[in-house]
Amino acid sequence: MKKLVSLFLAIALVLSVCSFAVAEEKPTLKVMNMYQTYSFEDQPQHQQLIDMTGYNVEWYMTPSENGTQMVMLQIASGEQYDLLFHQTADLITQLYDAGLLLPLNDLLDQYGDNIKNNPSAAAWKTATAEDGTIFALPSEAFLPQGDASRYGLQQYGIMFNMDLMNELGLELPSTIDEFYAVCKAYTEATGNPAFTAGKGAWEIHSIMPAYGMGTAVWYAAGDKIVHRLNHPGLEAYVAFMQRLYAEGLLDPDMPINSNANAMEKFTTGKALCMVSAFFNYDSVASGFAAAGTNPELLFVPGLTLEEGETPILYRAASVSYHTAIPVTAEHPEDAMKWLNIISQADNNKAIYIGEEGVHYQIIDGGYWPIQPAFGEKLNADKFVGFPSTADMHSQWMARARKTETIGASFAQINEGAENFDIRYVYEGFANGIPAVYENQAAIDTFVGDELLKLIVEGGDVAAALESIREEAKSDYNFDEMQAAMDEWYVEYASIYDWSIAE
Amino acid sequence: MKAAKEIKDKHNYLSKNTTFDYVNMFFLVIIGLVTLLPVLQVFSKALSAEGPVVAGKVTFWPIGFQLDTVGYVIGKGEFQDAFLVSVVTTLIGTCCAMFITVTAAYPLSKPALVGRKPLLYLFAFCMLFGAGMVPNYILYRSLGITNTIWALVFPGIFSVSNMFIVKNSFEALPESIEEAALIDGANNITTMVRIILPMSLPVLATMTLFYAVGYWNNYMSGVLYITRANLRPLQQYLYGLVREAMQETDAAGNVKDIDASMNLVGESVRAATIVASTVPILIVYPFLQKYFVKGITIGSVKG
């Protein structure tokens, strides 16, 4: 009996030792993230992720020059990465075409519960091949969908120096004519151009809404999709800008201004207004402080054509990054598990904005940061996985409201956000189409240069636009790009819930 | 008598500065100073308070002098890593490069070397044609040195043109000294180390400086072979910082990464980083500058 017991105990001891040895430590993952000037290991999120997931991570960065070419070369030579995190669509598509990516369908089904339902159907489309193979995970720009509040979408606008406005007894303009009158009043009173902007500013995204345009390149027009070159409002917009320039209301140095030049003119009181964003409030204010003044600065996010109209704001829904697992990965399942853990809603919140009461607080239902503790969240956005975009938009506001003054400016620029006509644009999902990504950038540069010349030199707008359209077709493959977009639009027309007037 | 006077006048003409000379010198000095102005502006921005920099008021003199920005930049972990990487690469790289260059130049300067002509042609050929980015990457990868310091040291470790300059300067040295050394029983290595090198200090100092500056300014090898943040050379870190300021927008003009543009490093921080990176080499340069001019010409004219 004693022998049996001791035998049993010996076996139990051996088994327990074996299971202890078999329970492996989690492997170290090699993750390539996008190029940043700071080091990922130095960020507090690095340790936070290790504690949260149990996986140690070695961070690598995409090369800053020729990134696509270099990473293709590295993977093709057998360089081992477990995850290509936050990479460009260009690189991921090329890697897939070269057969260097693992299909993710099975991994997602087994380990990706927190990820599967978060990206929208349109986003998944950019990461799925025609035969249904999912080759990447899309990181979407976060926009509130459906009935969710549109608050917080206004970020850029024309910033007015209220001291100068009050001196002249002027009010913030809301229509094109009011804007023109305000600028004219200032220029006549002081002799300085009222409106200053950096070079390349042929498109002023706060004036364009009056003509139905905005940041979008492609506009839904019922059953067609129209490039901004063919937008019906373009002629009137260019004519208005010509008028501003010709009458000296727009800074004559605009074509050569750098942002610093525009800033200098504005902060020394030599201009009435400037294009800026709410998050620049503090640095602009410090510029004024150096000049010895402290004016109130207010934004006009969008102008309208007629009194009482609602301003239009175009916001791009797009996939900013793709994440994929290369065929050279040693631990693909662990990589997916890791992504799954960080994409879980509460985990994501802890990474992105931290803990309530420590890093952030909730005031009036909105997220506000607690400084200086929130400072350690500065670079947290590069450690985020695939959470729900609605969550992300509201949490992002904790990051947007960096200081009290910036937070106040954010509130001012978003005043009346509920009344704006906010239109989502989906052309970002066409970025993977070769005819589009090969031609669009060149066409945009060409169009930008020509329109800038047209604004500065004056001349017949309609005729000039015709010749620009001709040249785009003959020299820049415009028709090819248009055809590709037409094809794309057939699938996406149903998602567009707005349309420009023909 | 007349001929002698003519020669004397000519001599005087050459040594005396005419009005043209003074005017010429004046303009050249002005132009030289003008090239200094951008450097002055960056230095001023680095040492000014944030407000005046943003307002664009800083021209050639700091407004609101403060050293905090430079201190902040130097204190950053990434900057220190990048600086250390550059210093270590330069030191190791220059030592290795000089060793390789000198040991290649000395035998090639001896006419008695078997196969000297073909070797020289081979070197000259390599000077003109390189393999390119992809073969180099595959080579480094198979050697296993990507993401190590050696990937920063190997590129540029041997410059054939530098080797030719050193070789020519060795050839210009009198043969009698070497023969005397041989008679005294010195072998080739002893001759090179104890006789030839001490006599060639100017050209060696110049080559050291060339290599050192080349390594310090090297940016491409970091981009091509390094993906770990802490192994980035200084120039790559700097370039990333400055380029970040030119925001990336997608085709629609939407800023791709709103968080990145919200958290842009300010202009004064960028200027301070540039200052912190340039000052070390600026300090070293004057001490070795006198060898520069002498060193470049030393390999050209024999005797």
In a 3-state reduction of DSSP, which class is residue A57?
A: strand
What are the b/e assignments for A124-136, b being 16+ CB within 10 Å?
Answer: bebbbeeeeebbb
Cβ contact B55–A263 (<8 Å):
yes
Cis preceding-peptide flag for A372 (omega within 30 of 0): yes
Contacts of A250 (CB under 8 A, 6+ apart): A193, A194, A195, A196, A197, A241, A244
Question: Does the beta-carbon distance from A38 to B78 stay under 8 Å?
Answer: yes
- Give tens-digit pLDDT for B62-90: 888 888 888 888 888 888 999 999 999 99
| Chain B residue with Cα closest to A213 | B252
d(CA B130, CA B220): 15
| pLDDT of res. A86 | 93
Mean pLDDT across B278-282: 82
Single pTM value for the model: 0.79
Measured CA to CA, the distance from residue B219 to residue B221 in angstroms comes to 6
- Average pLDDT in chain B: 84
Return the SS3 of A175: strand
Indicate if the pLDDT at residue B251 is higher than 60: no
Q: What is the DSSP string of B242-274?
A: HHHTS--B-TTS-BS-HHHHHTPPPHHHHHHHH
Asked if the C-beta of A290 comes within 8 angstroms of chain B's C-beta atoms, the answer is: yes
Of B247 and A461, the structure prediction assigns the larger pLDDT to: A461
Nearest to A336 by CA among A127, A142, A109: A109
Cα–Cα distance, B38 to B41 (Å, whole number): 5
CB contacts of A91 in chain B (<8 Å) are none
* CB nearest A215 (choices: B50, B63, B252): B252
Task: Give the total residue count for chain A.
Answer: 502
Per-residue confidence band for B225, with pLDDT thresholds at 50, 70 and 90: very high
Amino acid present at A106: D
Task: Using DSSP, state whether B132 is helix, strand or coil.
Answer: coil
- Is A139 an interface residue toward B (CB < 8 Å)? no
Instruction: Compute how many other C-beta atoms are within 10 angstroms of the C-beta atom of residue A357.
Output: 10
CB contact A101 to B (< 8 Å): no
Q: What is the mean pLDDT of residues A215-241?
A: 90
Query: What local confidence, expressed as pLDDT, does residue B294 receive?
Result: 66
- The separation between CA B270 and the C-alpha centre of its own chain, rounded to angstroms, equals 22
- Write the residue in B54, B137, B237 that is nearest to A73 by C-beta: B137
Question: What is d(CA A276, CA A201) in angstroms, rounded to the nearest whole number?
Answer: 12
Full DSSP string of A308-376: TPPPEEEEE--EEEEEE-BTT-S-HHHHHHHHHHHHSHHHHHHHHT--BTTTEEEETTEEEE-TTGGGG
B197-217 per-position pLDDT tens digit: 888 888 898 899 889 888 988
Question: Do A74 and A326 contact (CB within 8 A), yes or no?
Answer: no
The partner residues of B215 in beta bridges, in order of sequence, read none
Q: Which helix (H) or strand (E) holds A298?
A: strand A297-300
* Paired sense of beta strands A421-425 and A312-316, if any: parallel
Q: Rg of chain A's alpha carbons, rounded to an integer?
A: 27
Find the range with the poorest average confidence among A54-58, A304-308, B278-282: B278-282
Cβ contacts below 8 Å, chain A against chain B, sum to: 137
**pLDDT band, residue A418 (cuts 50/70/90):** confident
Exposure of A42 in the CB half-sphere (CA atoms within 13 A): 14
How far apart are alpha carbons B16 and B20 in whole angstroms?
A: 11
Residue B250: its pLDDT value, please? 39
Q: At what angle do helices B77-108 and B267-298 cross, to 10 degrees?
A: 10
What is the Cα–Cα distance from B148 to B137, expressed in whole angstroms?
13
Residues 6+ away with beta carbon under 8 Å from A313: A153, A154, A209, A214, A301, A302, A420, A421, A422, A423
Percent of chain B clearing pLDDT 90 (strictly above): 33
Chain A touched by B72 (CB under 8 Å): no
Inter-chain touch A216–B243, beta carbons under 8 Å: no
Cβ–Cβ contact A263 with B under 8 A = yes
Query: What is the SS3 assignment for A33?
Result: strand
Q: pLDDT band at residue B162, thresholds of 50, 70 and 90? A: very high
Cβ–Cβ of A290/B237 closer than 8 Å? Answer: no
Q: Which residue has the higher pLDDT, B287 or A12?
A: B287
At B99-135, the pLDDT tens digits run: 999 999 999 999 989 999 999 999 999 988 888 888 9
Concatenating the DSSP letter of every residue in A373-439 gives: GGGGGTTGGGG-----HHHHHHHHHHHH--SHHHHHHHHHHTTTGGGSEEEEE-GGGGTT-HHHHHH
A283: nearest CB among B239, B252, B266: B266
Chain A interface test: which of B137, B218, B227, B267 (most A C-beta within 10 Å): B227
Yes or no, beta carbons of A402 and B134 under 8 Å apart: no
CA distances from B45 to B70, B266, B275, B277 (A): 11, 11, 10, 15
Scanning A325-364 for CB atoms below 8 A from B yields none
Tokens of B294: 């002498």
Contact with chain B for residue A62, Cβ under 8 A: yes
Report the distance separating Cα A20 and Cα B202, nearest Å: 67
Determine the Cα–Cα distance for residues A182 and A169; give it in Å rounded to an integer.
Answer: 10
State the pLDDT at residue B299. 54
Residues in A touching B229 (Cβ below 8 Å): 36, 38-41, 59, 61
Query: Is residue A502 pLDDT above 80, yes or no?
Result: no
Distance from CA of A458 to the nearest CA of B (A): 24
Q: What is the ipTM of this complex?
A: 0.77
User: Considering only CB atoms, which chain A residues are within 8 Å of B224?
Assistant: 63, 70
B66 touches chain A (CB under 8 A): no
Residue A274 pairs in a beta bridge with A159, A196
Sign of the C-alpha dihedral computed for residues B211, B96, B165 and B126 taken in this order: negative
User: Chain B residues with CB inside 8 Å of A485's CB?
Assistant: none
Q: CA-CA distance, A114 to A106, in Å (whole number)? A: 14
- Cβ under 8 Å to A: B residues 225-264: 227-230, 236-237, 239-241, 243-244, 250-254, 256-259, 261-263
Residue that the structure tokens 């030199």 belong to: A457
Task: Please give the pLDDT value at position B89.
Answer: 95
Per-residue pLDDT of A135-189, as tens digits, reads 999 998 888 877 777 888 888 889 999 999 999 999 999 899 999 999 999 999 9
Of A64, A215, A288, the CB nearest to B254: A215
**Are A440 and B54 in contact (CB < 8 Å)?**
no
Give the pLDDT mean for B288-296: 66
**Which residues of chain A lie closer than 8 angstroms to B57, CB-CB?**
264, 268, 290-291
* Listed residue (A485, A461, A482, A6) closest to A242, CA to CA: A461
Report pLDDT digits (tens) over B17-49.
788 999 999 999 999 999 999 989 999 988 888
Separation CA A313–CA A498 (nearest Å): 12
Give the start-end residues of each E strand in A6-87.
Answer: 29-33, 57-61, 83-87
* Distance between CA atoms of residues A333 and A112, nearest Å: 10
Position A496 confidence tier, pLDDT thresholds 50, 70, 90: confident
Percentage above 70 pLDDT, chain A: 96
User: Are A318 and B254 in contact (CB < 8 Å)?
Assistant: yes
DSSP-derived 3-state class of residue A31: strand
Contacts of B50 in chain A (CB under 8 A): 283, 286
CA neighbours closer than 13 Å in the CB half-sphere of residue A203: 23
CB A71 within 8 A of CB B227: no
Check CB contact under 8 Å for A37 and B237: yes
* Chain B residues within 8 A of A441 when measuring between CB atoms: 251
Q: Which residue is listed with tokens 């944030």? A: B50
Q: Which residue has the tokens 């800023």?
A: B255
Q: In the predicted model, is pLDDT for residue B16 greater than 80?
A: no
C-alpha distances out from residue A3 to A7, A14, A374, B11, B287, Å: 6, 16, 65, 118, 86
Strand duo A224-227 + A297-300: pairing: unpaired
Mutation for testing the B interface, residue in A37, A155, A159 having most B CBs under 10 Å: A37
Residue A73 sits at the chain B interface (C-beta within 8 Å): yes
Q: Is the pLDDT of residue A429 over 60?
A: yes
CA-closest candidate to residue A261, choices A275, A281, A249, A248: A275
Residue B273 has pLDDT above 90, yes or no: no
Kindly state whether A155 is in contact with chain B, defined as any CB-CB distance less than 8 angstroms.
yes
Q: Is the pLDDT of residue A33 over 90?
A: yes
Any idea of the CA torsion for B6, B10, B15, B16, to the nearest 10 degrees? 80
What's the rounded mean pLDDT across residues A62-88? 91
Q: How many CB atoms lie within 10 A of CB A285?
A: 21
**Nearest-angstrom CA–CA distance, A475 and B149:** 47
What's the average model confidence in pLDDT over A360-386? 88
Strands (E) in chain B, as ranges, are none
Q: What is the DSSP string of A189-242?
A: HHSS-SEE--TTTT--TTTGGGGT--S-SEEEETTEEEEGGG-TTHHHHHHHHH
Nearest residue on chain B to A439, judged by CA atoms? B251
Instruction: pLDDT band for B254, please (50, 70, 90 cuts).
Output: very low
